[in-house]
Structure 1
């Protein structure tokens, strides 16, 4: 059995990009309130009577995510395009999580721990694993680290009145 050393720098950069990609929509909502909050699904309900994604998934959040993640990527020595692709993959994972939660009957903005963090952390890491220098082990470490950060940072952001819920 071969041991694969973790690339801590690769993991750290990926986690920073994840924080930018997933934090930008939260900050945009905090600063802009309801302005420009056009839902991605435009209010579409599927045959099960539930929203496709829900009203909390907005174009404002996606645009904020692309912009901030592109800036962070450039600071980290990557291209703005790589940052934008990373953001789009993270937001796709977030939308997938919302889609799954709606199909399971969970209320909008409800917390389902693994569904909330795994797709949005794994998808961008998989899409840009070569550019980020990530191995499979690194990607698992990224997902675990992002999960832990979500657990510990969410209540802090709630107390600072940045997030609407402590989870």
Structure 2
């Protein structure tokens, strides 16, 4: 697979994991997952991690995977790249893993004394992608192995931080986030 095809497969395969956190920000609000509980004098997760945001994020990722499967034949013809079709397990694991990664990062932020919205370099950029990949590897191992070759995984590790920074700056400019990271 050439570099353009590898990038296309990486972006396509990760879209259901990339979108949920953005959808959660748009859905925002509601009851916090941690219900206001503290641990060690700090909130377990904080007000930014809500049941509604998590549910909307996962549903958005699943809906996107269904839509990508629907347009896949046309996309393959247009791009000339063998894009993967999402099995049900991957449709669920990618967005759920993405949201779980973001929740875990919030937990780690609280444990390290960082406030909501505070920068946590590397963790902020890769938390959701790493957990999405791990959960998908467990839920759909054959599909994961066929889709996430070494080249695709390397592209994901390079592409994800770039996309994360760009989308966060855009959300900040649009007043959807209070910080650009």
Does the pair score TM above 0.5? yes
Give CA deviations for 1:115-151 in whole Å, capped at 9, x if unaligned: 1122211111233254350024422321321111121
1: CA distance, partners of 2:54 / 2:169: 23
1:118 aligned residue:
126
Q: Considering only aligned residues, what root-mean-square deviation do their CA atoms show, in Å?
A: 2.1
2: CA distance, partners of 1:75 / 1:56: 28
1:38 aligned residue:
31
2:174 aligned residue:
160
Do the aligned partners of 1:15 and 1:145 also contact (CA within 8 Å) in 2?
no
Query: What's the secondary structure of 1:113's corresponding residue?
Result: coil
2:80 aligned residue:
none
Measured after TM superposition, the shift of residue 80 of structure 1 is: 5.4
- The partner residue of 2:163 within 149, 154, 158 is 149
2: CA distance, partners of 1:53 / 1:136: 33
Return closer, same or farther for 1:22/1:41 CA change in 2, 3 Å cut-off. Answer: same
Q: Which moved more, 1:12-21 or 1:50-59?
A: 12-21
Do the aligned partners of 1:18 and 1:121 also contact (CA within 8 Å) in 2?
yes
2:143 aligned residue:
131
Structure 1's consecutive aligned runs of 4 or more residues displaced over 6 angstroms after TM superposition are none
2: CA distance, partners of 1:43 / 1:5: 49
Unaligned runs of 5+ in 1: none
Return closer, same or farther for 1:111/1:152 CA change in 2, 3 Å cut-off. Answer: same
Return closer, same or farther for 1:53/1:96 CA change in 2, 3 Å cut-off. Answer: same
Return closer, same or farther for 1:136/1:40 CA change in 2, 3 Å cut-off. Answer: farther
Return closer, same or farther for 1:9/1:139 CA change in 2, 3 Å cut-off. Answer: same
1:73 aligned residue:
65
Query: What's the secondary structure of 1:128's corresponding residue?
Result: helix
2:42 aligned residue:
50
Unaligned runs of 5+ in 2: 70-85
Instruction: Tell whether 2:13 aligns with 1:8.
Output: no
Q: TM-score, normalised by structure 2?
A: 0.77
1:64 aligned residue:
56
